[in-house]
Structure 1
Amino acid sequence: MTLNLLTALGGVGLFLIGMDIMTGALREAAGPDLRRMLGRFTASPLRGTLTGAVATGALQSSTAVTLMTIGAVGAGLLSFAHALGVLYGANIGTTLTGWIVMILGFKLKLGTAVLPVIFVAALAAMLAHGWVARAARALAGFCLLFIGLDMMQGGLDGADALLHPEMLPDGDGWSGRLMLVGLGVILVTLTQSSSAGIALTLVLLGAGSITFAQGAALVIGLNVGTTLTAVLAALGGTRAMRLTALGNLLFNIGTALMAFPLLGLIAPVLHGTWLGSDDQTALVLFHTGFNLLGAAVFLPLTPRFAAMVEALVPDRPMPMATPLDKRLLADEGAAMEAAQTVADQLRQTLFTALANAIGPDHDLRALGSVSAQGAPVLEALGAYLAKIHIPPDKAPEQARYVALLHQLDHLERLLERCGQRSRIDMLRKDPLLTRDVAAIRAALARDADAARFSRLARLIRYRAERFRRGALLREHAGLIEVDQVFARTDAIRWLERVAGHAERLSHYAAEARTHA
């Protein structure tokens, strides 16, 4: 029996490895398209639910979809109310794993049939490149799922002699169900995968080690437990991350509370469908059914539910670099969304501070603050970008990453300009530069587009040449001192470079968004 137990544990391990390999390869292949789909097809909570279900079904990972959703909310591409719809759908989409396990693993028994397939897939994964290698890794991971499932079944065959329903809490009573839900939460915490927990529950159910009611209560616990990883990850994270994690937790708890009283009522119905009357089919139906029911109940209440969650997570001031959460690095798209959010915030802060400094009130308070705070933010942004790894064959992501690096460079240069206070003083004193200064100030205050800054930079460059010649002539005529000539030419050169950096920042920010 010890050997059988080791075989079962090895099967769980293979299942987890297969799920990780398959999910990682699918995320690399479909991540950018799914991320764009999240932003494009979530105009309402209902559409968000459909999108979340499709995305989770495609990636076979609700965690990956949650990360994408967090990135989209943090970047302002998705409202929290619409993000809740995606979370509803993610809970529905994750039930697809149970159907795959039940139909292909138990009914068709593909564990042995996939052995030659995994050999070919492994060779292709090692020898091929680009999308072929990713597809091969996904196929290899898919095969490992069924090999692991076969090992679990073989190892737990006859397990009813050691583990039988009487040894576990009764699934027909409220107290027993609550204890089994707790066991489900512990199981998903240990495996860090609700899919593996569902597969193991189905195997135990098939071996007669648990009853249908006990298995159903375990599945409810698995459903709730899978949210705890996101809750722990959200501690100390951005408000978007905390909102998403809490909303997901409360939704799953609400769904579990609805499933409890229905379990005894619908069990006969689940066993009488055309799909089959066995316990395993009924359990997969139950898993899908109560998640569909939860989404159907919460969808009409989404605005109020979103308001309640937002009230529970106050919007307190956070440091500018807070969105750079290392937990988002698991998905390069979400990580770049976070980096772009910080870059946008710092750019707008610098623009506002400069606009106030060169304005008629000559308000230097914001400029002093951003000069002190900007350097640590830029250092954190640079370190964060260095940790983002993008495959060389993913051209749009590479282009977006390069655009972020360009923004980092120009932010550093613009921050350096903020420390050159003497240039600002000289600009305010020269009446010949009043119009140019006012134009730049207005563009900075509005966070104008690249085209506007480009026109201003060309105009200032043209006027700078005339200004320099005029200053030299006035010095030659004895109207101004030599040091005043250098001070004034340095001031207009400063203004020209500020306009140039602003134009480049706006340009690369727009370019990064086109590749999102």
Structure 2
Amino acid sequence: MIQSVITIFGGLGLFLLGMHLMTRGLRQLAGNRLRQYIQNSTRTPATGALSGALATALLQSSSATTVATVGFVSAGLMTFPQALGVIFGANIGTTITGWMVALLGFKLKIGLLAQPLIFFGVLLQLFGRGRWQPFGLAIAGFGLLFVGIDTLTQGFSILEGRITPDDFPGDTFLGRLQLVLIGVVITLITQSSSAGVATALAALTVGAISFPQAAALVIGMDVGTTATAALATVGGSVASRRTGFAHVVYNLMTGLIAFCLLVPLGWLYAAAGPHLDPQIALVGFHTVFNLIGVLAVVGVTKHFARLIIWLIPSKGADPAERLDDRLLKYPQAALDAARAAVQDQAKLLFGAVSDVLRAKPEGIPLVSPDAFEQTNTSLRSYLDRIKTGPDDPAANADHIHLLHALDHMDRLTDRLRQSDRIETIQTTEHLTRFGHQLSGLAGRFVEADGSPALPTEFDALRQAFREERRLTRENTLNQAANDQVGLEEAIARVDSIRWLHRTTYHLWRISVHLVDGRNSEAPKTEARLEMEMELDQT
């Protein structure tokens, strides 16, 4: 008995390791192309469900599909109703593993053939180059998966005759409910519904459980994945928590539908008798009830989305709330979310600049730089944890642009604290005129959502302010020397025109990095501009 239990756990471990390696290799092979496919194939909930099913079937990982989708929602590249379609489809995609296990593992019994696959896969991983390495990883994982199935079957075969269906809860309402709960526990332990289905198939093959009992276990395994999804979203972004909660509600609904089908399913199985293959029937039932679940909800996806949004509302206007640590495993998805958050923060900062320069002298609105600073810190921490490199030059360039934009946003936040200079601008006639020019352009950035023409306009205004800064400094200091203006007032005016110039410079650079994106100027040019600005201080 002990030997059998050890063998079962060993087989389950090999299966899980094989799934992990195969998924990792397939994900590396797919790269960003699968993400682009998901993004471009979600115009309706139905097409979203189809793309989610295909992506999950190819990646053999519903979590990878779900996390990519959360990234799209966080970045504003996909609406929440569109994302729900993908998540519904991902449940169907996970059933492909069951078919693969039943047909190849139990029918064709390719466990012996799988061992040389592991050998060749490891060789490709160790000595291959480029895309051969992830291909080798996927092949090795594929082979290991079936070795695990063989080991599982061996473990259960030792128990054949010792453990029978009579040792499990019977085919009653209470018995079926107990089996569902057992299935939930198995998924919580293995953290994989596919591993649970493989275990149920192995137990069914040796007669340790009956078909109705296996069907109830599979329902519980499907529902058990919701616990993983729920735990993974704790402390995550609003998009992540909505996605996780929607996954929980949807799977519970699908599980309830499947539970109601157990009685007629038992009648059909009894009527079919020996003509029905139990392994094929089990994975067929798993697929069918997931298809029914999708068909039941896909037509009312928008209403379902509104319910989830109502239950999990947004906390407020903090752009950092869209950031999700789950996305950090997928740098491009994390960058999508970070770019959207930085863009939103930039709009708030540009709007603050516009507001303070348009206010009347006696009514300058109180801006909260502390709130901006807190969000900037959160954004910087998140960007620091995103790992990009030379293997993906486009993502690396995008990463660098976001870091540059955030650096200028930090400096702009400090400028907003200088209320004395802002007040001088509002009380000095010719400076007020310049302030209104900058206010109008900053406001256009907020309204235009980043027009490609704005960086050029900011640059032109920056150059005009640089010349005006030189003239104001010269004229004002001359007036102070001739007692035409007080020295303190002269210094205040010089500081204020410098404030306008430097603020415009930061707005320009932020707009360049966010609007032009990867086509904007390189970091070396940024350093040259910084040197130019330092020289302008004198």
Q: Do the two structures share a fold, i.e. TM-score over 0.5?
A: yes
Contact 1:443 1:453 in 2 (8 A): no
Aligned residue number for residue 135 of structure 1: 135
1:467 and 1:232 mapped to 2: Cα distance?
A: 56
Aligned residue number for residue 402 of structure 2: 404
Match of 1:462 among 450, 461, 464: 464
Contact 1:449 1:507 in 2 (8 A): no
Aligned residue number for residue 498 of structure 1: 503
Residue 185 in structure 1 maps to residue 180 in structure 2:
no
Aligned residue number for residue 64 of structure 1: 64
AA in 2 matched with 1:15: F
SS of structure 2 residue aligned to 1:113: helix
Aligned residue number for residue 386 of structure 1: 384
Aligned residue number for residue 245 of structure 1: 244
Aligned residue number for residue 81 of structure 1: 81
Contact 1:270 1:286 in 2 (8 A): no
1:433 and 1:161 mapped to 2: Cα distance?
A: 93
1:391 and 1:284 mapped to 2: Cα distance?
A: 42
Match of 2:512 among 507, 511, 515: 507
Aligned residue number for residue 428 of structure 2: 430
1:145 and 1:292 mapped to 2: Cα distance?
A: 26
* Residues 340 and 270 (structure 1), Cα distance of their counterparts in 2 relative to 1, 3 Å cut: farther
Give the alignment of 1:104-253 within 5 angstroms.
104-170=104-170, 172-253=171-252
For residue 132 of structure 1, report the CA deviation from its aligned partner.
Answer: 2.5
2:22 and 2:271 mapped to 1: Cα distance?
A: 34
For residue 104 of structure 1, report the CA deviation from its aligned partner.
Answer: 1.6
Provide, for residues 392-441 of structure 1, a one-character-per-residue CA deviation record: whole Å limited to 9, x for no partner: 42233222222222222222222222223333223223322444322321
AA in 1 matched with 2:510: L
SS of structure 2 residue aligned to 1:160: coil
Relative to the length of structure 1, the TM-score reads 0.91
AA in 1 matched with 2:391: D
Provide, for residues 456-487 of structure 1, a one-character-per-residue CA deviation record: whole Å limited to 9, x for no partner: 33234135314523552454363445665554
1:490 and 1:44 mapped to 2: Cα distance?
A: 55
Relative to the length of structure 2, the TM-score reads 0.88
SS of structure 2 residue aligned to 1:94: helix
2:501 and 2:68 mapped to 1: Cα distance?
A: 39
* Residues 417 and 325 (structure 1), Cα distance of their counterparts in 2 relative to 1, 3 Å cut: same
For residue 238 of structure 1, report the CA deviation from its aligned partner.
Answer: 2.5
Aligned residue number for residue 320 of structure 2: 321
* Residues 133 and 161 (structure 1), Cα distance of their counterparts in 2 relative to 1, 3 Å cut: same
* Residues 392 and 106 (structure 1), Cα distance of their counterparts in 2 relative to 1, 3 Å cut: farther
* Residues 361 and 134 (structure 1), Cα distance of their counterparts in 2 relative to 1, 3 Å cut: farther
Greater shift in the superposed pair: 283-292 or 489-498? 489-498
For residue 164 of structure 1, report the CA deviation from its aligned partner.
Answer: 1.3
For residue 201 of structure 1, report the CA deviation from its aligned partner.
Answer: 0.8
1:460 and 1:385 mapped to 2: Cα distance?
A: 28
Provide, for residues 77-102 of structure 1, a one-character-per-residue CA deviation record: whole Å limited to 9, x for no partner: 22222221111101111111111111
**How many residue pairs are counted as aligned between the two chains?**
510
Contact 2:472 2:497 in 1 (8 A): no
AA in 2 matched with 1:507: V
Greater shift in the superposed pair: 461-470 or 78-87? 461-470
Give the alignment of 1:275-286 within 5 angstroms.
277-286=276-285
Greater shift in the superposed pair: 503-512 or 409-418? 503-512
For residue 296 of structure 1, report the CA deviation from its aligned partner.
Answer: 0.7
Aligned residue number for residue 352 of structure 1: 351
Residue 334 in structure 1 maps to residue 336 in structure 2:
no
Greater shift in the superposed pair: 81-90 or 353-362? 353-362
AA in 2 matched with 1:456: F
1:53 and 1:12 mapped to 2: Cα distance?
A: 25
* Residues 263 and 366 (structure 1), Cα distance of their counterparts in 2 relative to 1, 3 Å cut: farther
Contact 1:450 1:502 in 2 (8 A): no
Moved over 6 A (4+): 270-273
Contact 2:421 2:495 in 1 (8 A): yes
AA in 1 matched with 2:163: L
SS of structure 1 residue aligned to 2:157: coil
AA in 2 matched with 1:185: V
For residue 332 of structure 1, report the CA deviation from its aligned partner.
Answer: 2.4
Provide, for residues 368-404 of structure 1, a one-character-per-residue CA deviation record: whole Å limited to 9, x for no partner: x1x1123333233222222222364223322222222
Contact 1:45 1:81 in 2 (8 A): yes
Contact 2:323 2:337 in 1 (8 A): yes
SS of structure 2 residue aligned to 1:242: helix
Residue 55 in structure 1 maps to residue 55 in structure 2:
yes
Contact 1:403 1:511 in 2 (8 A): no
Contact 2:469 2:498 in 1 (8 A): no
For residue 314 of structure 1, report the CA deviation from its aligned partner.
Answer: 3.2
SS of structure 1 residue aligned to 2:347: helix
Aligned residue number for residue 372 of structure 1: 370
Contact 1:130 1:393 in 2 (8 A): no
For residue 143 of structure 1, report the CA deviation from its aligned partner.
Answer: 1.6
Aligned residue number for residue 294 of structure 1: 293
Aligned residue number for residue 309 of structure 2: 310
Aligned residue number for residue 343 of structure 1: 342
* Residues 57 and 173 (structure 1), Cα distance of their counterparts in 2 relative to 1, 3 Å cut: same
Contact 1:71 1:338 in 2 (8 A): yes
For residue 311 of structure 1, report the CA deviation from its aligned partner.
Answer: 2.3
2:302 and 2:33 mapped to 1: Cα distance?
A: 27
For residue 236 of structure 1, report the CA deviation from its aligned partner.
Answer: 3.2
SS of structure 1 residue aligned to 2:322: coil
Contact 2:359 2:365 in 1 (8 A): no
Give the gaps of 5 or more residues in structure 1.
none
Greater shift in the superposed pair: 113-122 or 173-182? 113-122
1:509 and 1:200 mapped to 2: Cα distance?
A: 50
* Residues 386 and 35 (structure 1), Cα distance of their counterparts in 2 relative to 1, 3 Å cut: same
Contact 1:468 1:489 in 2 (8 A): no
AA in 2 matched with 1:30: A
For residue 304 of structure 1, report the CA deviation from its aligned partner.
Answer: 2.0
SS of structure 1 residue aligned to 2:42: coil
Contact 2:74 2:340 in 1 (8 A): yes
2:476 and 2:158 mapped to 1: Cα distance?
A: 101
AA in 2 matched with 1:324: L
Contact 2:319 2:375 in 1 (8 A): yes
Greater shift in the superposed pair: 357-366 or 6-15? 357-366
AA in 1 matched with 2:283: V
Give the alignment of 1:253-292 within 5 angstroms.
253-266=252-265, 277-292=276-291
Aligned residue number for residue 12 of structure 2: 12
Identity of aligned residues (%): 38
Greater shift in the superposed pair: 430-439 or 316-325? 316-325
* Residues 427 and 450 (structure 1), Cα distance of their counterparts in 2 relative to 1, 3 Å cut: farther
